């Protein structure tokens, strides 16, 4: 049932046009990388501050609150472009082990965010009142770095797994379309040849 659903998504007119575009798809891919750079940079700076590695002179609340807005914009851009890329090749992603691992890691990220939100991310001012960064904040930052780095590695790994072309439903449609176009061209050519012969006679 899930396979049928991703096949339906991939074969919609919108994603078919996006997949076949020589300009739009590369732009979406590039914007996805821009969003990753922005979002990843904000995550890295926040986590390093929570770990006490950098920006120690800056209050944790200032770092977390000031980076929250650009972090959200980066996440929005990354997620939007990521969804467009997924819809364009949904069936290929369905068979990709790195993509499935990436989804599992996303679920773990959500769980960790919920666990640490109240004590860390939702009240960063309380962290500044402690004589040193609390252990739970450092744990949250370490897990965040580990999970997001793993997600980035899985994202890169997706492109290194060749899809099973014998199973790709969209590939079959492309072959049928190409065959139909070739047959139509041959028919037109034959008709033109008959007209030329008739004209010669």
Secondary-structure breakdown of the chain: helix, strand, coil percentages, each rounded to the nearest 5: 85, 0, 15
Predicted pLDDT at 173: 46
Q: Are residues 101 and 86 in the same domain?
A: yes
Q: Are residues 183 and 130 in the same domain?
A: no
Q: Are residues 123 and 148 in the same domain?
A: yes
DSSP H or E run through 11 = none
Predicted pLDDT at 189: 53
Q: Are residues 13 and 76 in the same domain?
A: yes
HEC string for 92-123: HHHCCHHHHHHHHHHHHHHHHHHHHHHHHHCC
Tokens representing 104 are: 């599992």
Whether pTM > 0.85 for this model: the answer is no
Q: Are residues 126 and 195 in the same domain?
A: no
Give the number of C-alpha atoms closer than 13 A to the C-alpha of residue 91, restricted to the C-beta side.
Answer: 23
Predicted pLDDT at 165: 67
DSSP H or E run through 15 = helix 13-20
- Its domain, for residue 185, covers 168-200
Spell out the alpha helix ranges (H) of the chain: 2-10, 13-20, 24-51, 60-88, 90-94, 97-116, 124-129, 135-158, 169-200
Residue ranges, the chain, pLDDT below 70: 164-167, 169-201
Q: Are residues 136 and 177 in the same domain?
A: no
Number of domains in the chain: 2
Q: What is the DSSP letter of 12?
A: S
Tokens representing 75 are: 């996440």
Predicted pLDDT at 178: 44
Q: Are residues 102 and 187 in the same domain?
A: no
How many degrees, rounded to 5, is the angle at CA 32 between CA 11 and CA 65?
130
């Amino acid at each position: 049932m899930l396979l049928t659903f991703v096949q339906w998504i991939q074969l919609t007119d919108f994603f078919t046009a996006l997949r076949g575009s020589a300009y739009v798809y590369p732009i979406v891919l590039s914007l996805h990388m821009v969003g990753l750079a922005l979002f990843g940079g904000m995550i890295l700076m926040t986590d390093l501050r929570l770990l006490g590695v950098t920006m120690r002179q800056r209050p944790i609340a200032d770092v977390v609150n000031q980076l929250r807005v650009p972090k959200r914009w980066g996440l929005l851009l990354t997620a939007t472009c990521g969804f467009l890329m997924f819809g364009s090749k949904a069936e290929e992603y369905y068979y990709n082990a790195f993509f499935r691992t990436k989804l599992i890691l996303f679920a773990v990220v959500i769980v960790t965010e919920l666990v640490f939100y109240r004590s860390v991310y939702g009240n960063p001012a309380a962290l500044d009142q402690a004589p040193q960064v609390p252990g739970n904040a450092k744990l949250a930052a370490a897990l965040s770095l580990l999970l997001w780095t793993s997600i980035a590695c899985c994202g890169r790994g997706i492109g290194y797994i060749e899809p099973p072309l014998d199973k790709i439903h969209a590939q079959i449609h492309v072959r049928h379309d190409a065959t139909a176009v070739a047959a139509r061209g041959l028919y037109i050519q034959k008709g033109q040849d008959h007209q030329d012969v008739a004209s010669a006679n």
